[in-house]
Structure formats: structure tokens, C-alpha cells
């Protein structure tokens, strides 16, 4: 058995292909539907995304080559370390071997740059000069700003106003990387102006910011501007699979023959997809693996919400996607894991859960902060509040392994550090946080809106 803590992979051993789960899923994926109720054709998406990414979005090819130009971008921080959490194991006195993939080592501090650099590169190849996106707390906006700065693309980020005002630091990161980050709603789009006319003091929302970003992309007369999304879509999941593919190689280097449990926190689903899809492939091919997306009890998309067609945004402007969804009018409670407050989740994950390939769990934020503090004082890293959900589930599994007396191998994704999210830790330590488990009445209320839309097959 390898004695080391961190298992490094050399750059020359970094995976050269992404894994596309769409090639292997059982059953037929339900296609996105347009306003007319018919499947959305690629040409309809052309004003929004460049055609090379649209091709990836609809591809069912199992392995997709990573272009040399993207590898070079990824080398700035990849391969990321796989770490054996020996200190956490010791503290839990568990026979389980716990490994985590440390995605916090990217310059933006999370897994988000894995797809940001890929999307920026494909857009540049397609002749695009400017990318527009939205961001909540700023994790995705800063990742795209970083990617655009490396490639010399212009970058514009619509940031939800309340975060823009209250969380200045990721805004400053975007600025340091040369992006133009403005508060949404803004006066720069028709949808922004309409909302401001009606309610000048609105705190904004992710739904509004998406509307503004898409509007700017599709109305730009030069034809050289596109929109970029940091989660949910198939091509985003694809780009993230490098996480799990690296982890597999690193576990082999550590002489681990088998993984028993794979864990990631899940909001839109991209970091969870990244660590888990290569293992879903194994599971489809007969391996016994427990694959666990972890969500907050306050936003129980996979554990309690129906699998249904719904819009990806609050305003109802996007195509209908077949996914587990709380309904697009869902109003998230004020939990600190901002990245896990999305009403839906990636169609590829929803389809997998629907077919029994995954075992979703929901955990309340108090247990997650408790777990994150255990992690900080053993392994040393202060993780993002989102990542705290993965840590909490890993600890649950390690305790179960102890009860069962089994030497399980547990792998989880450390999707980001929490150095810019310390206010949540502070509130937890001051006893100011509470559980926000969703009451049944809310679930019923929010999912009411889905009745308007068709059921997936």
C-alpha cells in the first residue's frame, strides 16, 4: 500500500479525452423542448452558443478528444492532487480509506475553471470575441473571467445585485482578471430596464441575470458575442469529467483496486458530474459502486422533487429541460451554500437518478458546517460551504464503514475552498444558523407550476 498522503499525476499522464455519459445511459434522453413543444434543434441555439459547443451538447460519442490548446490551459493547475485523508480517518477511527480530489487548487479556487477554459477556447476557435454570463455569489463569474483573461477574450458578467453589493471580493477577482462585472438588473438590457422600471430597489436574482446575459449575447449586432453557462448543460458536465478520470488514474497509482462510494455536492451538478460520471460508466458495466450526489435539505431537488420538464431559469426564457426540479419559481432559503440553491439539476444527472444509477442524499447545513470544521482541524483545508455537504456525506459513510467493520474506499470531490465564504462559518460558530429543511407544503406549492409542462418519457 502506498504510504503517501497526496497522489500527484504528471502532466503527461493527464487524460487526453473527456468522457460523455450520454453515450452509455440506459433509456432515451428526453430532448430539450422549445416554446412550440417540439425538440430544440441545434440551429435554434446558434445565437446563444458557438456551433462547436452545440455539437458537444448533443453528442453521443463516448470519448471526446481534449484539444491540445485546452490541455495547455488546464496545465496551469491540473492534474489536481488526489489526497488520502489520513488525518480525518484517524479522527473518525474508521477502517475506511477516504480520498478527496482537491479542486480548490485552481487559481479561481474551485472546479469551475475546468469548463470555463474549455468554453472560452471553443468560442475563440469559432471566432467569438466576447463572452457574457451571469453569476450569483461570483464563483462562476470569476472562473470565466480567469479563462477569458488567459485567451484575450472580452468578458462581461451580470452579477445578482445583492451579491454585487454584499460580496465584493469575487467581483474584485473578476476585475483583476480584466472582466467587466456589473450589478443585475442593469440599465444595459431591455429585460433589466423593464424590471428596474417596475421595482428600482430589487435585489436581483439569478433568473434575471440569466435573462440579461442571454439578451446581450443574442442581440449583439457584431455576431461575435456568445453566452456561457457554468453548469446544468451536457457540455459543461463533459468538461468536468477530467476530475473523475484523473482520480481513477491516481487511485490506481495508490494501488486501490476498487472504489465503494463516490460523493459530490450537487447544485446544478457540474462538480458532482465531474467526479462521478466515469464511475457511472463502471456501474453501468457491472461494478458495485454507491454514487451519491448530496444536496441541502432546503433545496431537495433530487431527493424529493419530481422528474419533470421545466425551464432552466426563473423567467421561463430557456428551453424546457427534463430534470428533477422544484419548479422554476422556487425561492431558496438563505443558506450559505449559494451554489446549491438551484431549483433544477443537470438533465444527465436527473436521467441517471431516474434510472437508479445514483443514490441522492440531502443533509442540512448545520451538519455540513460541523463536518467542514472537523475537516479544517484535521486535514487543514477550510472548504467551501457547498463542499461541506460532500464532506458530511463522506463522514457519514466512514462512520457506517466503522459500524460494519468494512474497509471501504470512499472518494469525494473537494470542489472548492471557502476562503471567500467565511461569513457562513462565523455565523455557524456564533450559533446563528438554523436548519431550513423544506416543508411538504412548500414542495407542493413550488412544484405546482410544473403542471403546465409535459411529463418526460
Residues engaged in binding a copy of itself (CB under 8 A): 3-6, 8, 10-12, 75-77, 87, 105, 107, 109, 146, 149-150, 169, 172-173, 175-178, 373, 376-382, 419-420, 422-423, 425-426, 429
Give the max Cα distance, the chain: 65
Q: How far is the CB of 394 from a copy of itself (least distance, A)?
A: 17
Q: Which is nearer to a copy of itself, 64 or 173 (CB)?
A: 173
- Given the complex with a copy of itself, which of 310 and 386 has the nearer CB atom? 386
Q: Does an H or E element contain 176, and which?
A: helix 168-176
Contacts 24+ apart (CB under 8 A), 399-407: 399/92, 399/94, 401/94, 401/95, 401/96, 402/92, 402/93, 402/94, 402/95, 402/96, 405/95, 406/95, 406/96, 407/95, 407/96, 407/97
Least distance between a copy of itself and beta carbon 77 (Å): 7
> Residue 386's closest CA among 358, 361, 362, 416?
416
Do 352 and 22 contact (CB within 8 A), yes or no? no
What Cα–Cα distance (Å) separates residue 65 from each residue in 18, 21, 61, 322? 6, 14, 10, 27
Cβ proximity of 375 and 100 under 8 Å: no
* Residue among 177 and 446 whose Cβ is closer to a copy of itself: 177
Rounded to a whole number of angstroms, the minimum distance from the CB of residue 103 to a copy of itself is: 13
Would you say 63 or 169 has its CB closer to a copy of itself? 169
**Contacts of 438 by beta carbon, 8 Å cutoff, 6+ apart:** 297, 298, 299, 300, 304, 333
Strands (DSSP E) contained in 163-224 are: 180-184
In 129-248, at which residue ranges do the beta strands (DSSP E only) sit?
Answer: 130-135, 154-160, 180-184, 225-227
Q: Least distance to a copy of itself from the beta carbon of 116, Å?
A: 11
Measured CA to CA, the distance from residue 266 to residue 350 in angstroms comes to 11
- Find the shortest distance in angstroms from Cβ 304 to a copy of itself: 31
Nearer to a copy of itself, 46 or 419 (CB): 419
* Nearest distance from C-beta of residue 261 to a copy of itself, angstroms: 23
Instruction: Tell me whether residue 312 or residue 424 sits nearer to a copy of itself (CB atom).
Output: 424
- In three-state secondary structure terms, 74 is helix
Q: How far is the CB of 107 from a copy of itself (least distance, A)?
A: 4
For residue 96, count CB atoms less than 10 angstroms from its CB and return exposed for 0-12, middle for 13-18, buried for 19 or more.
Answer: buried
Smallest distance, Å, CB 176 to a copy of itself?
5
- For a copy of itself, which is the closer residue by CB, 95 or 107? 107
Compare residues 242 and 450 and give the one whose CB is closer to a copy of itself: 242
Least distance in Å: CB of 149 to a copy of itself? 4
Nearer to a copy of itself by Cβ, of 171 and 396: the residue is 171
Phi/psi class of residue 129: alpha, beta or left (left: φ > 0; alpha: ψ in -120 to 50)? alpha
Amino acid at each position: 500500500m502506498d504510504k503517501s498522503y497526496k497522489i500527484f499525476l504528471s502532466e503527461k499522464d493527464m487524460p487526453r479525452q473527456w468522457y460523455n455519459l450520454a453515450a452509455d445511459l440506459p433509456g432515451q434522453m428526453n430532448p430539450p423542448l422549445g416554446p412550440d413543444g417540439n425538440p430544440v434543434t441545434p440551429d435554434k441555439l446558434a445565437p446563444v452558443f458557438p456551433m462547436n459547443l452545440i455539437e458537444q451538447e448533443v453528442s453521443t460519442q463516448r470519448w471526446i478528444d481534449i484539444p491540445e490548446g485546452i490541455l495547455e490551459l488546464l496545465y496551469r493547475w491540473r492534474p489536481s492532487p488526489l489526497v488520502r485523508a489520513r488525518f480525518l480517518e484517524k479522527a473518525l477511527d474508521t477502517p475506511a480509506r477516504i480520498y478527496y480530489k482537491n479542486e480548490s487548487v485552481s487559481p479561481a479556487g474551485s472546479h469551475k475553471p475546468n469548463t470555463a477554459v474549455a468554453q472560452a477556447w471553443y468560442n475563440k476557435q469559432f471566432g467569438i470575441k466576447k463572452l457574457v454570463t451571469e453569476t450569483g455569489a461570483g464563483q462562476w463569474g470569476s472562473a470565466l473571467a480567469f479563462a477569458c483573461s488567459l485567451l484575450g477574450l472580452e468578458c462581461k458578467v451580470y452579477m445578482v445585485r445583492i451579491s454585487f453589493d454584499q460580496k465584493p471580493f469575487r467581483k474584485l477577482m473578476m476585475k483583476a482578471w480584466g472582466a467587466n462585472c456589473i450589478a443585475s438588473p442593469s440599465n444595459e438590457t431591455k429585460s433589466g430596464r423593464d424590471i428596474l422600471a417596475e421595482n428600482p430597489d430589487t435585489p436581483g436574482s439569478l433568473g434575471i441575470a440569466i435573462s440579461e446575459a442571454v439578451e446581450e449575447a443574442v442581440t449583439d449586432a457584431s455576431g461575435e458575442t456568445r453566452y456561457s453557462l457554468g453548469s446544468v448543460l451536457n457540455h459543461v458536465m463533459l468538461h468536468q469529467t477530467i476530475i473523475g478520470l484523473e482520480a481513477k488514474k491516481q487511485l490506481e497509482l495508490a494501488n486501490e483496486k476498487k472504489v465503494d462510494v463516490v460523493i459530490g455536492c450537487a447544485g446544478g451538478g457540474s462538480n458532482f458530474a465531474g467526479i462521478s460520471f466515469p464511475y457511472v460508466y463502471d456501474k453501468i458495466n457491472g461494478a458495485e459502486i454507491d454514487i451519491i450526489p448530496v444536496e441541502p435539505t432546503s433545496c431537495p431537488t433530487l431527493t424529493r422533487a419530481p422528474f419533470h420538464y421545466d425551464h432552466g431559469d426563473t423567467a421561463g426564457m430557456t428551453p424546457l429541460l427534463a430534470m428533477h426540479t422544484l419548479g422554476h419559481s422556487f425561492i431558496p432559503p438563505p443558506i450559505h451554500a449559494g451554489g446549491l440553491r438551484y431549483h433544477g439539476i443537470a438533465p444527465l444527472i436527473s436521467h441517471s437518478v431516474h434510472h437508479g444509477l445514483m443514490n441522492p442524499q440531502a443533509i442540512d447545513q448545520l451538519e455540513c458546517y460541523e463536518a467542514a470544521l472537523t475537516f479544517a482541524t484535521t486535514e487543514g483545508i477550510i472548504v467551501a460551504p457547498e463542499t461541506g455537504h460532500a464532506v458530511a456525506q463522506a463522514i457519514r459513510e466512514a462512520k457506517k464503514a466503522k459500524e460494519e467493520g468494512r474497509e471501504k474506499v470512499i472518494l469525494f470531490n473537494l470542489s472548492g475552498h471557502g476562503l471567500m465564504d467565511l461569513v457562513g462559518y462565523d455565523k455557524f460558530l456564533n450559533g446563528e444558523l438554523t436548519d431550513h429543511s423544506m416543508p411538504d407544503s412548500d414542495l407542493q406549492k413550488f412544484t405546482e407550476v410544473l403542471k403546465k409542462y409535459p411529463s418526460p418519457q
